[in-house]
Structure 1
Amino acid sequence: MTQDNRTPDETRRVRMREVGPRDGFQNEPETIGTADKIRLINALGRAGFTRIEVASFVRPDVIPQLADGVEVLKGIDLPDEVERMVLIPNSKGLDNALKVRDLFEAATLFVSASQTHNRKNINRTVEETMADVKVMGERVTAEGLKFCAVIATSFGCPYEGKVSMDRVLDLAEEFAGAGATEIGFGDTTGMANPAYVSRFFTAARERLPRVELTAHFHNTRGQGLANAYAALEAGCTSFESSFGELGGCPVPAGSTGNIATEDLVSMFHEMGVETGLDLEKIIEAARAAQGTLGRKLTSHSIVAGPVHWDLAAS
């Protein structure tokens, strides 16, 4: 473990984005009612998030769970400081998104680092996707939207195995050249390990010094928090997670959820890392999601709650 010799004035701070309303909900087999989605997103807004991924403009027949994205965007009531983000798969999706431009502030464009996953996910080659990204990036920027990017399978592909770090960072540089100011690196099926994550973010910071780098880990093999810690120690200060540990990749089967937001925030708080979030309110939202879905969710903090040192010492 790295020795932390910081003074109180040097407290570390991270920026968190909640992705459960999009990345989490999309994997649920039973339809979640629009009113329930709105209620849960509003609860997350009260927990102090300033960034929430709310909806997707993927075709409804591909992900029916997110077909009510526009209704959700219109129905939510979030504090003014909350940045509402939407996921956009292609130019047609962007056309639809821009029809309701006033309902969100940030747009995410994405690609998989591996050809096989990209084809299975969006039925395109990586090259075809990136050609579209260049066109979409200009449109997103012209609209005054924040242009974010996500590179899936950044730490390994379930079909191709190892993914070259240089390939991922080359794609990241293409996104930056197209105007992206934030790039997320997705451990889409939970194949990362802390040692590689440390090397990866060290290299990424060197190659992309003017871009916000975001870590997005899944807990498929139980290494999510360890990977987040490794990213933090390598200088990453932006993270995505999903309340209740909801989510997972639609392809392939067996890819379980993202890191639970409440578990990640709990770890950061116990380490003295500031998030600006109210952990108890996040846990309340996760427990509400558990009730809405009618099944137990897999985050630890739903069961254990936050650490109360005053009670532990009594």
Structure 2
Amino acid sequence: MLRDVLESLPHPPKFLVVDDEDDVRVLLREYLSGLGLPVVEARDGEEALRLFEEKGPFEIVITDLVMPGLDGLTLIRRIKEREPETIILAMTGYARDYGYVDVVLAGADDLIQKPFSFEEFEARLARLLREWKLKEELQALSIRDVLTDIFNRRYFEERLLEETIRALRQDYPLSLLMIDVDRFKLYNDTRGHRDGDLLLKALADILCRCTREKVDQAFRYGGDEFVVLLPHTDTRQAAKVAERILENYREAGFSPTTLSIGVAKLLPVENPRKSADDLVRRADEAMYRAKRSGGNRVEVDPESL
């Protein structure tokens, strides 16, 4: 049963095992590793929170409840505050002190009593993995644009702030491309909505082909507007990516449409939220300068030079 569940997963979830008993912690680590699952272990709640910051987030946490220092229930609450989607399996050998209702109210998804058999552990684990897989599938649906199958604006807002915080903290460049299809309404009105949809799908494909897989991210911003987030990319490099997108679109043959592309680099402004908003504003203004100049061109935000 567990093997079937593991084979159906989109990718292996990352585990954090927390227990002050070395025998239990090592046994679980070796068992999960033997299933091909990535595992990190912690001896107590404080170490678990530190690892969550340094090596997380973790999709599934297995934690004891009775530990020195930070206890399991507090750890569960702290994890859920940081990552509400984390799935947590609590363990305890003190059944009279901790009930199922207590741990569920704290945020855990299940409770297993020590000592437990591997048959019982496998059954609980299989259920939690099925639950995690369902969450992953629902998350994937919620962040994708239905027409183009790239990320949507809702997810862009989320990723933009995350990338902004990371770039400011680690002091690396982050650039943004704002892209608009020139004369798209004319194309749609004369060729029909079906051809207009094909154009948008083709543009989404071009954005993905012209950027780095698993590093850069393309989003449909709305209508015929798209954005591309480029981490670890300065203004000059971002402008090169924009020119590559522009050239590939020209070759795609969607005349009379062309692209107007604005390029901007992240600059620190008071706090991450304001810095992210400022980045979008400057990329948008650069894109509109490209449109006012006739389109079919790349414009770079002057503050980013």
TM-score category, normalised to shorter length? under 0.3
TM-score (ref. length: structure 1)? 0.25
**Higher relative contact order, chain-length normalized (CA < 8 Å, sep 6+):** 1
Larger Rg: 2
TM-score (ref. length: structure 2)? 0.25
